[in-house]
């Protein structure tokens, strides 16, 4: 099925939840709704499902207007943040429930589909258990299996991994893309996490304050954010931003830091810009074995935080705060002097309006 949203708006009283949403999703595609909390992702999913009716615009399925058609009359399945399972039913019966409600299949066919779907979700050994006997990851796998077995044309997932611990999230993320690729279903997946969008691929719609601020293939949106806000949202932590002055082929970051404008910015005129660089593209050691190719920025440590197997170092240079993402567990003292090394070829440039003015050339295999 194709799904198209035309000028969708949603207001509740004076509050604006969605405004002027235009999206067209092709058959059997994966679309990620990426945005911060309260950006409108859940509101948009509920309108797609038929749970809510927009206050403006139309929802078209295969060219047919279904704006006023309720969820029960649409072939839609939805997976929520919470583990929504029937507590008194076994895993087997939870998965089978959509097929039993349809009352069109023989028991043997239901059994075959339940076991096949449970195997895909790696819960085929848990079919006799009740939800209370499962871990959080197993409960969410059960909920996803129930959505998959329905054979819906449209599968909506509202941050389905957000309540799982880090290890379980990584495990399920890695499986999702393969699971979706094996089924002829249009998938819409809402998340706040850029890593999930990149792993799922497909297309990404970046939402902010109820509006779609960029839509395109996931990899293109990541490498070419249309503006500062997209760059911030599609980076975790948010993209580092640095005000600079361009003149005479040089970029000046501060009184004591200036560097030659990289080749991808040669077309920019003189003036003030904001340069952006992702945290994983800043190093605390010279990149490529020599400092000559790097922009070296002297700084002092403001904060060091360890998250899983990574360390995030917050450092300050002349009133400018920057975040460095390092692999491994490292310790830094408050106020410790450090040098931040940035490859100028990794820098984005945004103009005075916040629009993208220049983007780094994409290197094969570079995240």
Domain ranges of the chain: 3-226, 240-358
pLDDT(292) > 70: no
Say if CB 162 and CB 81 are below 8 A apart.
yes
Tell me the average pLDDT across 190-197: 94
Q: What is the pLDDT of residue 365?
A: 47
How many percent of the chain have pLDDT more than 70? 97
134/103: higher pLDDT: 134
Q: What is the pLDDT of residue 300?
A: 96
pTM of the model: 0.91
pLDDT(200) > 70: yes
Q: What class, spelled out in words, does domain 3-226 have in CATH?
A: alpha beta
Tell me the average pLDDT across 337-355: 95
Q: Which CATH topology does 240-358 take?
A: OB fold (Dihydrolipoamide Acetyltransferase, E2P) (2.40.50)
pLDDT digits (tens, 9 = 90+) for 147-193: 989 888 899 999 988 877 777 777 788 788 888 887 788 999 999 99
What is the overall mean pLDDT for the chain? 91
pLDDT(364) > 80: no
Residue 289's pLDDT band, with cuts at 50, 70 and 90, is low
pLDDT(42) > 90: yes
């Amino acid at each position: 099925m194709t799904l198209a949203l035309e000028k969708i708006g949603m207001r509740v009283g004076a509050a604006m939840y969605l405004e002027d949403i235009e999206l067209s999703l092709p058959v059997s595609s994966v679309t990620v709704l990426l945005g911060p909390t309260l950006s409108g992702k859940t509101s948009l999913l509920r309108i797609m499902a038929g749970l809510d009716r927009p206050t403006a615009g139309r929802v078209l399925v295969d060219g047919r207007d279904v704006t006023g058609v309720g969820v029960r009359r649409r072939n839609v399945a939805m997976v929520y943040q919470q583990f929504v399972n029937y507590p008194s039913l076994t895993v087997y019966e939870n998965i089978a429930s959509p097929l039993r409600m349809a009352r069109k299949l023989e028991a043997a066919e239901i059994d075959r589909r339940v076991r096949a779907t449970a195997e895909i979700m790696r819960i085929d050994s848990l079919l006799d258990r009740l939800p209370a006997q499962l871990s959080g990851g197993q409960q969410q796998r059960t909920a996803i299996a129930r959505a998959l077995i329905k054979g819906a044309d449209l599968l909506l997932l509202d941050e389905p991994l957000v309540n799982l611990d880090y290890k379980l999230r990584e495990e399920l993320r890695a499986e999702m893309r393969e699971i979706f690729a094996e089924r002829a279903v249009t998938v819409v997946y809402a998340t706040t996490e850029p890593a999930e969008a990149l792993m799922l691929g497909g297309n990404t719609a970046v939402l902010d304050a109820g509006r779609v601020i960029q839509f395109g293939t996931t990899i293109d949106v990541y490498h070419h954010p249309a503006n500062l806000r997209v760059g911030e949202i599609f980076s975790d932590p948010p993209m580092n931003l640095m005000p600079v002055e361009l003149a005479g082929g040089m970029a000046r970051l501060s009184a004591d830091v200036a560097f030659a404008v990289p080749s991808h910015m040669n077309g920019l005129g003189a003036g003030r810009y904001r340069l952006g660089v992702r945290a994983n593209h800043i190093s605390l050691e010279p990149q490529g074995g020599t400092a000559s190719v790097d922009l070296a920025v002297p700084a002092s440590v403001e904060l060091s935080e360890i998250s899983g197997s990574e360390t995030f170092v917050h450092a300050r240079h002349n009133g400018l705060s920057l975040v460095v993402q390092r692999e491994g567990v490292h310790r830094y003292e408050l106020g410790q002097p450090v040098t931040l090394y940035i490859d100028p070829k990794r820098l984005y440039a945004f103009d005075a309006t916040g629009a993208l003015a220049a983007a780094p050339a994409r290197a094969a295999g570079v995240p």
